[in-house]
């Protein structure tokens, strides 16, 4: 990417497993590295930490849920990401909650990637982790529910302050960290290939922000 006046200081990439967030992070890092941008994967960081500390005993390559961590540690990592978004620039932060953590932080391009076809989504994880489809189905459902339950409990006050009070969603809506209206750009990677997805984000990064 050529040096241009970008409209955002930082980028977040969020999405559930198999949606393509890790792939997008890798491609954005490669595209923006010569402009001084760098990337951070929350999932990789937590996985390495859990492995080093022996916090879980799951077999195989499937990822684990946030239930393996104490609330204080989880919150420290999350608030560290929000602090980077508030005080630094040139970050691409990829994590399940990175888009939520960027709510009401100026200058952040919030990207949601998802796959609308569950069979394709599962197949991607099967190929990536060399596990069975049944194991993947069980794992992603379990992780999703455990993570949602934990984070809904942990961040109910922030949801009120960052999402409900500014009027992004109604107080009657359930907590959903991956609803498209929390994001600047939502991309269905079932119908958008890797190059198209990357170009969509780069175009959004360069586009003039609406004043209406």
**SS3 of 192, please?**
coil
- What is the phi/psi pair of residue 73, to 5°? -70, -45
What's the burial of 99, exposed, middle or buried (CB within 10 Å: 0-12/13-18/19+)?
buried
pLDDT of residue 26: 95
pLDDT at 211 over 50: no
Which residue from 31, 30, 28, 27 is spatially nearest to 1, judged by alpha carbons?
A: 31
Q: What is the mean pLDDT of the chain?
A: 87
Q: Global pTM?
A: 0.86
pLDDT at 24 over 90: yes
Q: What is the DSSP string of 21-33?
A: HHHHHHHHHHHHG
Query: Which of 20-29, 183-192, 199-208 is least confident?
Result: 199-208
pLDDT at 36 over 60: yes
Contact, 97 vs 178, CB < 8 A?
no
- pLDDT: which is higher, 130 or 175: 175
Which pLDDT band holds residue 56 (cuts at 50, 70, 90)?
A: low
Point out which residues pair with 92 in neighbouring strands. Answer: 11, 39
pLDDT at 210 over 50: no
Tokens matching residue 193? 């290939």
**What pLDDT digit, counting tens, does each position of 71-109 carry?**
888 899 999 999 999 999 999 999 999 999 999 999 999
The arithmetic mean of pLDDT across residues 11-20, rounded, is 93
Domains along the chain with CATH numbers: 10-205 (3.40.50.300)
Task: Return the H-helix or E-strand segment holding 11.
Answer: strand 10-14
In whole angstroms, what is the distance from residue 110 CA to residue 151 CA?
19
- Which range has the top average pLDDT, 48-57, 76-85, 121-130? 76-85
């Amino acid at each position: 990417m050529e040096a241009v006046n970008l409209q955002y200081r930082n980028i977040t990439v969020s999405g559930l497993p198999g949606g393509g967030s890790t792939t997008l992070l890798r491609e954005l890092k490669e595209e923006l590295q010569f402009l001084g941008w760098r990337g951070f994967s929350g999932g990789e960081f937590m996985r390495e930490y859990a492995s080093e500390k022996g916090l879980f005993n799951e077999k195989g390559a499937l990822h684990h849920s946030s239930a393996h961590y104490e609330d204080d540690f989880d919150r420290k990592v999350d608030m560290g990401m929000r602090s980077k978004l508030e005080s630094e620039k040139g970050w691409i932060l990829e994590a399940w909650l990175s888009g939520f953590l960027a709510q009401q932080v100026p200058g952040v391009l919030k990207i949601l990637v998802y796959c609308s076809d569950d069979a394709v989504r599962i197949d991607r994880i099967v190929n990536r982790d060399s596990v069975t489809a049944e194991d993947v189905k069980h794992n992603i459902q379990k992780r999703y529910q455990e993570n949602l339950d934990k984070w809904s409990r942990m961040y109910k006050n922030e949801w009120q302050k960052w999402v409900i009070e500014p009027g992004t969603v109604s107080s009657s809506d359930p907590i959903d960290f991956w609803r498209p209206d929390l994001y600047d750009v939502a991309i269905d990677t079932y119908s958008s290939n890797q190059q198209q997805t990357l170009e969509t984000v780069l175009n959004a990064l360069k586009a003039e922000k609406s004043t209406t």
